[in-house]
Structure 1
Amino acid sequence: MRRTAALAVVVPLALALTLAPPAAGAPRPHAPAVVTTENETPVLYDDDEGGNASGDDPAIWVHPTHSDRSIVIVTAKEGGLRVYDLGSEELQSLAAEPAPRADGVDGRYNNVDIAYGLRVGGRTVDVAVVSDRYNDQLRFFTIDPAGSRAATPLREVTAPEQDFLFSPDRETVEEEQTAYGVAVWQPRKGETYAVVTQEGATTVATVRLTPRPNGTVGYTDIEHLTMPGSFPLPGGGTWVPCEEPGVGPQLEGVAVDQRSDVLFATQEDVGLWRIPLPLGSGAPRLVDKVADFGVRDTYDEESEECVPVDPDQPGLGGPNLVADAEGVDVYYGRGRVGYVIVSSQGDDRFAVYSTLGHNRPLGTFRIAGDGVDGINGSDGLAVTNRVVGDYREGLLVTHDEPETGPDVDPERDATNFSYVDWGRVADALGLQVSTNPGNDPRLR
C-alpha cells in the first residue's frame, strides 16, 4: 500500500529559523581539539578500474556476545557495498546490482543504517538498510549472526516491486532527485521505520519496514514532510541558499535519537535540524547554522559554482559548522546524556552537540593520522558507545575524501574510512564514556 501524506511545512519560517538559546556560561568557541587514528580501510577508487567505487556512509554492527566479531558496513555508491572487520580488512564486496523490479537498473548505494531484531523468514535478524539513488527505493540485507566469522556477512532480501520513495514514475527517477540519506527509527518493539532524505530537494520521507513471510523485506506507508528552502533574515528579507538550477537546498545526513523519537538532520548549506517523529507531530527547529548562512551567492554557469555577490559580506551562522554539513549520528551515554556528532565537511572538523534541552554545542575536533592520513571532507559517519573489539570505550567510523598517502594514486579519485577510538574524542572534549548496552534502546 502506498500512502503519501504531503505534510508541507506549516511551520512559520521565523519559527523554523529559531535557534537554541545559548546555555548560561556556555564556553566560547575555541580551536578544535585533535584526536588521532591509525586504522583505515583499503582505498576505493571512483573510476572504471576501481569499479566506480566512491565511499560515502558507514554503519557499525556490534556482535551481541563477541564484540571482536563486529563489522563495519559502508556504501560505495556505484561500487555497491563493502564489509570490513575491526582491523579494517575487507570481508565482502557486494555489487550494486539491479533492483528487484521489472524496471530495475543497477543501483547506486548512498547511505546505510542498521535495523535490529526484525522477524524475517521465521527468524530474528538484524538488517542493513540502504538507500538506492538510481532506483529511488530502499534495499535490505540481512546480517549473518556470525558477523566477521561469516563467509558472506550480508545477503540481499529486498522484496520485489517496492514503491518509489519520491518519484511518480521511472522517467522521474532518471532525473535523480531520489533516495539519499537514511536512518532507522525503532520507537517500540515490533515497529521499525526508515527516514529517508531526497537528493536535490528539501523533502524527508518515512516508511514502515514490513518483513514478509517469504524471507524478504519491503516497506509501506510512505509519508513526506517538506522542509524550508528559504529563510527570513534579521531586519527583513529572505535568504535562499545558492544551488545549481533546478536543485533545492538538500538534506542528507540523518540520525534518530531512539530515546526521544527525535530526528537530527543536516541540511548541507543550512545547518543541523531537530525534527520530532512521527513527521508532522511537532515543529522542526534549526539547532545550528553553517558559518555562511545568509550570504548571498549567485550560480556561475561557466565554473558551475556559487560565488558571493559581495565577497566581504559576513555570514550569520555559528562557528561550529562550515558547509557542507554532512554526516550525523547519536552517541548514547549514561541516563539521558547523549551526543550528536556532525561532520563539518567544509573545514574538515566534527562538531558535537548535547541531545538534551536546546542541544547546546559542546566543542569541535579534527582527526589526524598516526601512520595513516588525517580525515578530510567527511561525508558520512557512525558511532557506537559499545565495546567493539579493542575499542574498549566505543568506536567512531568516518568517511575520508580525498584519501591520501604514499600508496594512493594521486591521479585517481580516492576515498576510504577511518576508525577512531571514542575514548580519545571523549578525553579531548570532556565527554562521557559509558559502554552499557542498555544505553541504546534498540539493543534492550
Structure 2
Amino acid sequence: MLTQLVCAARPSRVSDALPVSVPAELAKAQELAALPDGAWLALDKQALRLFDAKGKQLAKLPMRAKHLDTRSHAQGALAIVLDADTQRALPILVDLKAGTLHAQAAFPMPTFAVETICLYRDAQQLDYLFLVGKDGLSEQWVMQGDLRKLVRKLALPAQAKHCRSDDHTHTLFVSESNLGLWAYGADPEGAAAIGQHQPLILRAPFGGLRGGAGALAVLPGGVAVLDAKGENLHLLRQHQGTWQALPVQRLAYKHEIDQISLRQDASGIQLLLRDETAKSWHVRRPAWQHSAATQQRAQSLPIVIVAPQVQTDPVARYGDAADDPAIWVHANDTSLSRVMGTNKKQGLLVYDLQGKQRQLLESGRLNNVDLRQNLQFAQQTYDLAVATQRDENSLVLFEIAANGEVTESARIATDLDKIYGTCLYQPVTGGLEVFVNDKDGRFQQIRIERSAQGFTGRVVRRFKVDSQPEGCVADDRNARLFLGEEKRGVWQASAKAESDPALSMILPVAENLKADVEGMAIYYGAKHDYLIVSSQGDSTYLVLDAQAPYRLRGKFSIGINLAAGIDGSSETDGLDVSSANFGGKFSRGMLVVQDGNKRLPDGPQNFKYVAWSDIARALQLPD
C-alpha cells in the first residue's frame, strides 16, 4: 500500500549546466513525447507532428488537441490526445518504420467536461484510458482495436489538472492544482481499490508544495511533479511500499515551467521542462536511482492470468452482497447443471451454465453454501445444499430436484453467536456432516439426520482456531478438512468426527498468500487432486496439491475477457470447482468464483466461470 509522505525535503537550486538536446524544430511544441530510436511526437496548437532524431518532420495530423500521452506499440507507439473542440479522446498509431501517423477510432463523447487524460497498460497488456473530469467526475475505459468499453466510473480530485499512470506498480497519479499529488489504484481489478487513495505530497502547511501540484511525469520507481507555480521540481521515490521525498529542486529559470516529460536513454533519464513564455524546452538529467522494490520478489510465485468464459447475472443488491457459490451437476445432462450462489442481503440464487438466473429463494442473509449429491437417508436419495443464515445463526437446508429445481427443506438452529462459514463432508460410510464456524473461531461438526419429521442435526465434534475463520472444504475421499483462518493461513485436520481435531498449518499467510484467506475447493482430477484457495488480499488464487506435502503448484489471477465483454475478478470471497465434463470449454470442469468488484461497466456483484483447462494450461498442471 502507498504510504503518505510525512515531511518535505529542503529545496536545492538546479543549475543550467546541461546542454539542451531537444531539436530546435520542436521548440514551439506545447507537449512532447520521446519515442524509440530518438524519434519525437510534438503537439502544438495546429497539429500533432512526428519527428526523427535529427528534427526532420516525418508526418503531421492537423488538430487542436492537448494532453499527449504514449505507450509502446509493435509498430512504434500508441499515442492519445484530447480533441480540444469535441472533448473526445483520439488514439493515434505511430508507425516509426513508415514514418506515419494514423488516427484510430475516437472514444465516445464524454458526458462531463474533461480536464485531463492519460493511458494505463495492465498485466494483460490491455490499454486503458482515464478521463479525468471537472468536479471529480471521471471514467476508466479499455480499448482494443476499434473496441471502446467503459470499465468503471471514478471519483477523483475535483481540481485535477494532470494525470499519469505507472504500469509497473499499477498506480494512477493525479495532481490537484490547489492541493497536491494523489496516488490511486490504476488496475480496476487490482488489490489497491480506487477508494484506497493516498496523498503523496501536499501544499503548505500540510507539505512542501507551493500552491498545489502541476504537471507530472512517471519515473522508474517514482514520480516527478511540479508545484502549481512551476517554480520547483519535486522528485518522489518509492521504496519498499513507502514514498521518500528527495531534495526539492528549485528551477532557476526566468519564466514558470508548465509541462514536464520524460526521456530515457542508455545514460539514464532526462526531464524535459517547457517554458511556455519563452517557447522553449529545458533539459535536466537529475541524479536518480531507484530500488527494485517494484519488481516481483524472487520468493514470490509468478502470477499467470486466465480469462473467465461466462459471468452470471448480477445480484439484486448493491454493495457487498454476493459471497459463495456451489456447483450442482445434472445426473443425465451436464449442460443442465446449476450454480448456486449466496446473496448476503437476500437469499440463494440459482444460475444455469450460461450465467442466467433461474431461481431466487429469499431465505434471508445467507453467507456460505456447499452441496453434496446422491445422499442416502432412509432408503431415499437426496441432493442437498446447506447455507449459513446469519440473522438466525442457523443452517438452511435446500433440496435439489433431478431437474435442478431448488426448494428450502429445513432450518437447523445452532448455539453459535455469529455464524459465518460452512462446508460439507460426506463420509465414505454415508450420511452428511456440516462443518460450520463462528467469527470468534469456534467450529462445530454437525451430523445431519432424517426422520419422519424431516431433517435435523446434532453436534458430534467441536474445536477452535485463534481468530476469525470462514472458508473451508472437506476432502471426502481422504477424510481431510482444510480450513482458512483469515489472517493466518490454511490448516488441515482429520474430517472424522471421532478423531482428535489436531490442526497443522499447510500454507501460512506470507509472500504468496495474502490475507484474507477466503474460499476453498478441491478439484478431483484423473490422477491428481488440487486444493484451490482464494488469496483475497492480492486478488489471486493459489493451487496446491490436495495431498501431503501440499506442494504449491502455482498462482493465477482472473483477467478480462474483452471479446466476451466479461470483466476480471477481484477480492473474491467464496469459490467452488468441479471436474465434471460440462461440455465445450468446460469439458475438463470449471471454477466458479465470486467477484467482489463488477466492472465493464460498474454494477452489482456477480460470479465468474473459468474453464479448468485454461487454469491447467497456464500453470502446467498434470491431470
TM-score by length of 2: 0.50
| Partners of 2:394 and 2:413 within 8 A in 1 | yes
Q: Could you tell me which residue of structure 1 aligns to residue 414 of structure 2?
A: 164
Residue 205 of structure 1 pairs with residue 444 of structure 2? yes
Q: CA deviation at 1:125?
A: 1.8
Q: 2-side partners of 1:165 and 1:399: how far apart?
A: 28
Matching residue's letter, 2:313: P
Q: Deviations over 1:412-437 (max 9, x none)?
A: xx21100000000001111133xxxx
Which one of 398, 404, 408 corresponds to residue 141 of structure 1? Answer: 398
3-state SS of 1:427 partner: helix
Q: Could you tell me which residue of structure 2 aligns to residue 338 of structure 1?
A: 529
Q: 1-side partners of 2:327 and 2:368: how far apart?
A: 13
Q: Could you tell me which residue of structure 2 aligns to residue 46 of structure 1?
A: 317
Q: 1-side partners of 2:357 and 2:429: how far apart?
A: 33
Q: 1-side partners of 2:388 and 2:352: how far apart?
A: 22
Residue 179 of structure 1 pairs with residue 398 of structure 2? no
Matching residue's letter, 2:551: R
Q: 2-side partners of 1:383 and 1:374: how far apart?
A: 17
Residues 7-406 of structure 1 correspond to what in structure 2 (within 5 A)? 29-47=300-318, 54-96=321-363, 107-119=364-376, 123-147=380-404, 153-158=405-410, 162-166=412-416, 177-199=417-439, 201-214=440-453, 216-227=454-465, 229=466, 249-278=467-496, 280-291=499-510, 319-335=511-527, 337-370=528-561, 371-390=565-584, 391-406=586-601
| Partners of 2:519 and 2:575 within 8 A in 1 | yes
Q: CA deviation at 1:122?
A: 6.4
Q: CA deviation at 1:397?
A: 0.2
Q: 2-side partners of 1:325 and 1:53: how far apart?
A: 17
Q: 1-side partners of 2:576 and 2:335: how far apart?
A: 17
3-state SS of 2:512 partner: coil
| Partners of 1:112 and 1:183 within 8 A in 2 | yes
Residues 407-426 of structure 1 correspond to what in structure 2 (within 5 A)? 408-409=602-603, 414-426=604-616
| Partners of 1:69 and 1:389 within 8 A in 2 | no
3-state SS of 1:145 partner: coil
Q: 2-side partners of 1:340 and 1:327: how far apart?
A: 10
Where does the alignment leave 5 or more consecutive residues of structure 2 unmatched?
Answer: 1-297
Q: 1-side partners of 2:596 and 2:610: how far apart?
A: 16
Q: 2-side partners of 1:119 and 1:288: how far apart?
A: 35
Q: CA deviation at 1:116?
A: 2.0
Q: CA deviation at 1:259?
A: 1.6
Q: Deviations over 1:48-81 (max 9, x none)?
A: xxxx881000000011221001000000012101
Q: 1-side partners of 2:530 and 2:309: how far apart?
A: 24
RMSD (Å) for aligned C-alpha atoms: 1.9
Q: 2-side partners of 1:416 and 1:137: how far apart?
A: 25
Percent identical: 32
Q: 2-side partners of 1:431 and 1:116: how far apart?
A: 27
Q: Could you tell me which residue of structure 1 aligns to residue 62 of structure 2?
A: none
Structure in which a larger fraction of residues adopt strand = 2
Matching residue's letter, 2:612: W
Q: Which has the larger radius of gyration?
A: 2
**CA 1:278 to 1:35, structure 2 compared with 1: closer, same or farther past 3 Å?**
same
Q: CA deviation at 1:385?
A: 0.8
**CA 1:282 to 1:59, structure 2 compared with 1: closer, same or farther past 3 Å?**
same
| Partners of 1:121 and 1:213 within 8 A in 2 | no
Q: CA deviation at 1:119?
A: 4.2
Q: 2-side partners of 1:287 and 1:396: how far apart?
A: 22
Matching residue's letter, 1:34: I
**CA 1:355 to 1:121, structure 2 compared with 1: closer, same or farther past 3 Å?**
closer
Q: CA deviation at 1:331?
A: 0.8
Matching residue's letter, 2:554: G
**CA 1:250 to 1:184, structure 2 compared with 1: closer, same or farther past 3 Å?**
same
Q: Could you tell me which residue of structure 1 aligns to residue 171 of structure 2?
A: none
Q: 1-side partners of 2:508 and 2:617: how far apart?
A: 26
Matching residue's letter, 1:195: F
Q: 1-side partners of 2:361 and 2:302: how far apart?
A: 41
3-state SS of 2:410 partner: coil
The one of the two structures with greater contact order (alpha-carbon pairs below 8 A, sep at least 6) is 1
